[in-house]
Structure 1
Amino acid sequence: MLTKVRQQIMTSNQHYKAVADAHRRHRVFNVGDLVLVRLRRECFAPGTYSKLSRRKIGPVPITAKINDNEYTVALPDDCNTSPTFNVSDIWPYTPPDDGVITISSSESSSSEPGKS
């Protein structure tokens, strides 16, 4: 009976892990990659965080890889927080594209001369 219970617990745990892993964000970065870093309120000393301050800093390069879950980045000098971040707070940086800006039809029809 004990082996049946143990087997049922292991089956349930595997199912829970599969469901949790489906929502997990798995990202692996390399040293030198440019990333955006999210700054949480917990990163700052009490009284130094402003809710109007920037939420993300970047692009900043990754300087060291601790493991697949933690990275050290080169923060600017004015940032008084630890440079080590969890992968959940790091996004890959994509430079803005130089595409042509198009105006939608609703905007162009209202700006045409002679129409009221």
Structure 2
Amino acid sequence: MLSTAEFAYNSMVNRSTGKSPFSIVYTKLPNLALDVVVLPKCKSGIAAKFTSHSTKMLEDVHTHLTNANLKYKAAVDVHRRQQLFNVGDLVMVRLRRERFPPGTYSKLSRRKIGPVPIISKINDNAYTVELPADQNTSLTFNVSDISLYHPPDPAIIEFSSSESSSSEAGED
């Protein structure tokens, strides 16, 4: 069964590449058991059994992959924060290490840039922002790297020390 499962995996289209591993390596798709089905009036019992077994196995693999993807999505969605922004909102953008040009990253360099306006929404998970001209990086950011900008509070902050908090003379 392992060789059959391996063949099925290598002949299925990968969602990332859009091609099957067979078509990438050998530049063509292999002949599948499903190709035998299109033969008119195939009277071989062995071929029919092989075809039905392969078809069922491919359906099972597809079902298992779909269920696994749903479980992965549910596990990730537990920790996901749903935050939607509108075009024109002021946000703070976090720059990850990969966003810095080679040799310019420092632990002490500025990580958050902002406030910057959102100039377009790609989808609920990606936004395009207007970065300053000196930033040589892509303008598109994942929602995990964007936070809403809150302007500083204009109230005057008064500092007091414990020495001057006493209202009566001679008290500590």
Please classify the TM superposition score into its range, dividing by the shorter chain length.
Answer: 0.7 to 0.9
TM (norm. structure 1) is: 0.74
**What's the counterpart of residue 115 of structure 2?**
59
**What's the counterpart of residue 93 of structure 1?**
149
The alignment yields a C-alpha RMSD, in angstroms, of 2.8
Structure 1 stretches of 5 or more lacking a match? 1-8
Mapping of residues 76-91 of structure 1, within 5 Å = 76-91=132-147
SS across alignment from 1:23: coil
After superposition, the Cα gap between the structure-2 partners of 1:21 and 1:55, relative to the gap in structure 1 and judged at 3 Å, is same
Identity of paired residues, percent? 66
**What's the counterpart of residue 72 of structure 1?**
128
Cα offset, 1:70, TM superposition: 0.4
| 1:30 to 2:86 alignment | yes
Moved more, 17-26 or 61-70: 17-26
Structure 2 stretches of 5 or more lacking a match? 1-63
Higher helix content, 1 or 2: 2
- Structure 1 segments of 4+ aligned residues over 4 angstroms from their partners: 9-19, 111-116
**What's the counterpart of residue 49 of structure 1?**
105
After superposition, the Cα gap between the structure-2 partners of 1:13 and 1:66, relative to the gap in structure 1 and judged at 3 Å, is closer
Question: Number of residues paired by the alignment?
Answer: 109
TM (norm. structure 2) is: 0.52
**What's the counterpart of residue 162 of structure 2?**
109
> How far apart are the structure 1 equivalents of 2:68 and 2:103?
45
